[in-house]
Amino acid sequence: MTLQTETLIPTSAAVETDDFGSLQRQMIIILDFGSQYSELIARRIRETQVYSEVLSYRTTVEQIRQLNPKGIILSGGPSSVYDPGAPHCDAQIWDLGIPILGVCYGMQLMVQQLGGGVERSDRGEYGKASLRIDDPTDLLTNVEDQTIMWMSHGDSVTHLPEGFEILAHTENTSCAAIAHHQRKLYGVQFHPEVVHSVGGLALIRNFVYHICHCEPTWTTAAFVEEAVREIRAKIGDKRVLLALSGGVDSSTLAFLLHRAIGDQLTCMFIDQGFMRKLEPERLLKLFNEQFHIPVEYVDAEERFLAAIAGITDPEEKRKRIGHEFIRVFETESRRLGPFDYLAQGTLYPDVIESADTNVDPQTGERVAVKIKSHHNVGGLPKDLRFKLVEPLRKLFKDEVRKVGRSIGLPEEIVQRHPFPGPGLAIRILGEVTQDKLEILREADFIVRQEINRREIYHDFWQAFAVLLPIRSVGVMGDQRTYAYPIVLRFVSSEDGMTADWSRAPYDLLETISNRIVNEVRGVNRVVYDITSKPPGTIEWE
């Protein structure tokens, strides 16, 4: 599933006043019950060119009325609706007169709160299932009978509330899709948002267009126009300092801010010593000479290495790097400033994965679990002296690429593989040293050379090397060696939320392995990571 060329739909949280994007437009909201797929639902809605945003399940009916959405989707979640302390939404939601679609847990909650029954199933249903359609109208219009949908549930509906009827079933689930047509309340036991659900997007389109009567009004041009207007209104005549890394996120932000406020923007590139080979030089040449956006260069390698010296815990490493970034900005801003705002290219997946465990102090309900901190959302000190500007905070990577392309960013940057803010420091497991950085930098350079030489760079979402903090025995030149292994990590993905390991050609892996072992001193073994996300993450730390 891909977005149309001209499409980009941002989302923003109602409680975050610094997010860009007017809320006074038609939209679909997703109430999140702790599912890792909640943001994927939002992304699928955006593929229909309709604005969407994700809110907590604790959002009140009054708050929903103020947002005036055209429709509501209740996400899945890890709980059972009958568990003590299971998350429940405001029961008045069913009387709003707004179309509602419950997905998995969301459907079960709808059934329970409206008087139906949900119990533990004798047999769970996980993975692909053939959907047998009983009512091919309304929600299931143009969804083919026996199409494959993705199931993931151990509970099932035992009896429906008054006025509901069954729209579809599977071999193991009698109520796979349900509806109360008069009240426009719908539920599906499967996950239409995941790529494995063949008819999922058609179902979502039916809900968005035919049931909620939304119009496809959001485009890249509309986002850029509004973002520029919001930036100017927020910043006024103040000055902004941008943390430029050279990736598509910060580069797109630089172009967007430069269009909005011109010389009020100062771009600063902090070379923390964790960049890939030749990238700092390339970045400065592009921005200073080709784009005519001046960049202040700061060499802070020694400072960053000292900040994480001896640190082996990945979470602590990320936080220290994030903390040091801010401190360097503060130091340099005194020289170049004063600045009122710090601009960051934070994206939605960064925010999602950095979310702390969400605990209701009264009920103890848990919603989302922190996976890992990101450098631009997890390490900010409490005494931060800047106000943050994050216009891209609610966008996915593919959406940012569309914005970048629309405002003139070259393909070289638009299609650049994602690169983490902490750089190579989190691709070296355990303690980071100068020697290890040089080893990984050279190995990573070989990886990029070979996939570019074969013109398959864009076949991968990411392709990189990882250095492990162990050594193994080898033999080179009839002599015993005791050296580091390099892990090759090639993945395919749409947005970084989920990913599959790439089936890279064997001869490519062989060439890369031979070159690394022969050309990079300190390495005697190369292995290939065949783990998907989940259960693994794309980065190793």
DSSP 344-380: ----HHHHHHTPPP-B-TTT--B--------TTTS--
193 an active-site residue?
yes
pLDDT greater at residue 182 or residue 477: 182
pLDDT at 18: 41
- DSSP letters, 404-449, are HHHTT--HHHHTPPP--TTGGGGSB-S---HHHHHHHHHHHHHHHH
pLDDT at 133: 95
Contact 64, 23 (CB under 8 A): no
Contact 195, 1 (CB under 8 A): yes
pLDDT at 354: 55
pLDDT at 366: 33
191 an active-site residue?
yes
User: CA 131 to CA 116: how far, in whole Å?
Assistant: 22
pLDDT interval class at 140 (50, 70, 90): very high
pLDDT greater at residue 375 or residue 517: 517
Q: What is the pTM of this model?
A: 0.69
**Residues sharing a CB contact under 8 Å with residue 71, sequence separation 6 or more, in sequence order:** 28, 29, 98, 99, 100, 101, 207, 208, 211, 212, 214
Nearest residue to 34 via CA among 120, 114, 103, 124: 103
End-to-end CA distance of the chain: 29
Give every strand in the sheet of 27-32, ordered side by side: 51-56, 27-32, 71-74, 100-103, 185-188, 177-180, 165-169, 117-133, 147-159
Contact 163, 187 (CB under 8 A): no
How far from the centroid of its chain's Cα atoms is residue 388's Cα? Answer: 20
User: CA 485 to CA 406: how far, in whole Å?
Assistant: 42
Q: What angle do CA 517, 518, 523 make, to 5 degrees?
A: 35
Per-residue pLDDT tens over the stretch 69-113: 999 999 999 899 998 989 999 999 999 999 999 999 999 999 999
Q: What angle do CA 66, 72, 77 make, to 5 degrees?
A: 120
User: CA 168 to CA 132: how far, in whole Å?
Assistant: 6
**Residues sharing a CB contact under 8 Å with residue 492, sequence separation 6 or more, in sequence order:** 459, 460, 461, 499, 500, 501, 502
pLDDT at 398: 82
How crowded is the C-beta side of 261, counted as CA atoms within 13 Å? 24
Looking at 47, 53, 193, 541, which residue is catalytic? Answer: 193
399 an active-site residue?
no
**Residues sharing a CB contact under 8 Å with residue 393, sequence separation 6 or more, in sequence order:** 12, 16, 19, 20, 346, 347, 348, 351
pLDDT greater at residue 9 or residue 413: 413
**pLDDT for 57 beyond 80:** yes
| Residue 153 buriedness (CB in 10 A; 0-12 / 13-18 / 19+) | buried
- DSSP letters, 45-71, are HHTTT-EEEEEETT--HHHHHHH--SE
pLDDT interval class at 534 (50, 70, 90): confident
Per-residue pLDDT tens over the stretch 364-408: 333 333 334 444 444 455 565 778 888 998 788 888 999 999 999
pLDDT greater at residue 395 or residue 512: 512
**pLDDT (average), residues 459-484:** 91
Per-residue pLDDT tens over the stretch 247-277: 889 999 999 999 999 999 999 999 999 999 9
Q: Write out the H or E segment, with its range, that includes residue 489.
A: strand 479-492
pLDDT at 467: 98
User: CA 516 to CA 439: how far, in whole Å?
Assistant: 10
pLDDT at 98: 96
User: CA 24 to CA 283: how far, in whole Å?
Assistant: 38
Name the pairing type of β-strands 100-103 and 387-389.
Answer: unpaired
**pLDDT for 457 beyond 80:** yes
pLDDT interval class at 353 (50, 70, 90): low
Least-confidence region, from 297-301, 368-372, 431-435, 449-453: 368-372
User: CA 466 to CA 526: how far, in whole Å?
Assistant: 10
Q: CA Rg, the chain, in Å?
A: 25
**pLDDT for 2 beyond 50:** no
Nearest residue to 260 via CA among 377, 375, 341, 336: 341
**pLDDT for 526 beyond 90:** yes
pLDDT at 331: 85
Per-residue pLDDT tens over the stretch 487-499: 999 999 877 777 8
**pLDDT for 320 beyond 90:** yes
Nearest residue to 49 via CA among 238, 222, 242: 222
**pLDDT for 502 beyond 90:** yes
- Give me the percent of the chain exceeding a pLDDT of 90: 60
**pLDDT for 8 beyond 50:** no
Nearest residue to 458 via CA among 406, 423, 493, 506: 493
Looking at 104, 175, 212, 267, which residue is catalytic? Answer: 104
**b/e per residue 251-261 (b: at least 16 CB within 10 A):** bbbbbbbbbbb
**pLDDT (average), residues 527-536:** 93
**pLDDT for 5 beyond 50:** no
- Give me the percent of the chain exceeding a pLDDT of 70: 88
Q: Report the chain's mean pLDDT, rounded to a whole number.
A: 86
- Show the tokens assigned to 237: 């005549």
User: CA 336 to CA 264: how far, in whole Å?
Assistant: 12
Nearest residue to 276 via CA among 449, 55, 47: 449
Q: What angle do CA 406, 408, 410 make, to 5 degrees?
A: 110
Looking at 153, 169, 191, 374, which residue is catalytic? Answer: 191
User: CA 309 to CA 128: how far, in whole Å?
Assistant: 48
Contact 375, 395 (CB under 8 A): no
